[in-house]
Amino acid sequence: MPELRKDPITQEWVIVATERARRPSDFTHLTIAEPDKPEYSPTCPFCPGKELMTPPEILAFRQGREANTADWWVRVVPNKFPALAIEGDLHKRGAGMYDMMNGVGAHEVIIETPKHHLDPSVMTVEQLAEVLWAYRERYLDLRKDPRFKYILIFRNHGKVAGASLEHPHSQLIATPMIPIDVLNELQGAETYHKFHDRCIWCDMVQQELDQGIRVVNDTEHFVAFEPFASKYPFETWLLPKQHQASFPMMTRERVVDFAGLLRDTLFRISRCLNSPPYNFALHTAPCGNEDSEVFHWHMVIMPRLTIAAGFEMGTGIYINVTSPEDAAKYLRETTVKAEESLAEQVNSDEPVESVEQIADSRPEEQPAKVEVKL
């Protein structure tokens, strides 16, 4: 029998169509084969040496101190075609019964590596931790702007998932309102906290760790699992084990720990599902609510394995053809270690550093961070 499952946070229902259950191999025909990418592309505006093809950088981690030069390892620039404009006032107004305001916000691109062919599943933990640290830096800067109510950091991987450029990058958009999906999570979390005096995500993390059947992997501080009411096949959540409302409040050591779990999870998804397109989104507390007792930050990874059709679009009820329990089992049983794959895929003679080595060696001697204010 199919199952109807209710998300305990948003109260949304999903259908887990167990009689149509699909194995990882059943999804491979839905992915679009893409040619192997070179380490450097002479036409790519995100590759080193092409810094003048992008707007001037806002933030860069680099060896030298001169902005917009080629010695960086993470670089943040304004989106050349922004969804929202950084300049101007909101000018909220009505048009009869309708509400509107100016499209004010921030839209930035985080260029994750100088290497055109890498993605987070095969980066070193150290490099991915630097990307996550850039997320943190940009959030802490943008939250100072009173016009911005919410900051979403997300990644589109593959053309099917909406990536228009293949060089590894993620994006940040700051909005002057709290998006409805975040409001729904907030309202559900507040209702739960009112009756239980506990964070709903904290209880969820503890139950998933106790049961284990939907857990993919965990570290000292974080856990990755398939949510009970997954909308999408192989949808995966990553959360801190201890309560924390806002991602940017993390220490450097915990960012490295999270980078290790994120890379491991993305590697498992890539290997298990034949490098599918995916999106991930970082859900964090709204600006000004970083100490919230009810919100718990989390990253949602959504492989693009099925297409939403008329039923989903007409009802908002998603049909998931792979149960979360099966998906977690498949991902857990993906046994090839990310560390072994890295040495093969990036053709490196250097051993991959462990999370512990990187945490211990986080440098006082780290080369300069260059930040340029627009």
* Gap between the Cα atoms of 6 and 212, Å rounded: 20
User: Is the pTM higher than 0.75?
Assistant: yes
For residue 30, the model assigns a pLDDT of 60
Pick the catalytic residue from 116, 169, 283, 296: 169
For residue 336, the model assigns a pLDDT of 56
Q: What angle do CA 309, 216, 133 make, to 5 degrees?
A: 90
Environment class of 5 (CB within 10 Å of its CB; exposed 0-12, middle 13-18, buried 19+): middle
Provide the β-strand partners of residue 8: none
* Gap between the Cα atoms of 337 and 307, Å rounded: 30
Alpha helices in the chain (DSSP H): 125-142, 180-196, 200-211, 252-272, 310-315, 324-332, 338-345, 355-360
Q: Give domain status of residue 29, yes or no.
A: no
Q: Give domain status of residue 129, yes or no.
A: yes
CATH of the domain at 140: 3.30.428.10
Q: Give domain status of residue 4, yes or no.
A: no
Q: Is 169 a catalytic residue?
A: yes
For residue 345, the model assigns a pLDDT of 44
Q: Give domain status of residue 276, yes or no.
A: yes
Q: Give domain status of residue 246, yes or no.
A: yes
3-state SS of 26-64 is: HHHHHCCCCCCCCCCCCCCCCCCCCHHHCCCCCEEEECC
Predicted confidence pLDDT, tens digits, the chain (374 residues): 899 999 999 999 999 997 767 888 888 756 666 667 899 999 999 999 999 999 999 999 999 889 999 999 999 999 999 999 999 999 999 999 999 999 999 999 999 999 999 999 999 999 999 999 999 999 999 999 999 999 999 999 998 899 989 999 999 999 999 999 999 999 999 999 999 999 999 999 999 999 999 999 999 999 999 999 999 999 999 999 999 999 999 999 999 999 999 999 999 999 999 999 999 999 999 999 999 999 999 999 999 999 899 999 999 999 999 999 999 999 999 975 545 444 344 434 343 333 333 333 333 334 445 444 33
Q: Give domain status of residue 313, yes or no.
A: yes
Provide the β-strand partners of residue 319: 15
* Domain limits for position 59: 34-88+101-361
DSSP tag of 323: -
Environment class of 363 (CB within 10 Å of its CB; exposed 0-12, middle 13-18, buried 19+): exposed
- In terms of Cα–Cα distance, which of 1, 26, 5 is closest to 14? 5
Q: Give domain status of residue 270, yes or no.
A: yes
The answer for residues whose C-beta is within 8 angstroms of residue 220's C-beta and 6 or more apart is: 257
Q: Would you state the structure tokens that stand for residue 197, as one six-digit string?
A: 């005096």
For residue 29, the model assigns a pLDDT of 58
For residue 352, the model assigns a pLDDT of 35
* Gap between the Cα atoms of 35 and 324, Å rounded: 31
pLDDT tens readout for residues 127-150: 999 999 999 999 999 999 999 999
Domain count, the chain: 1
Q: Give domain status of residue 189, yes or no.
A: yes
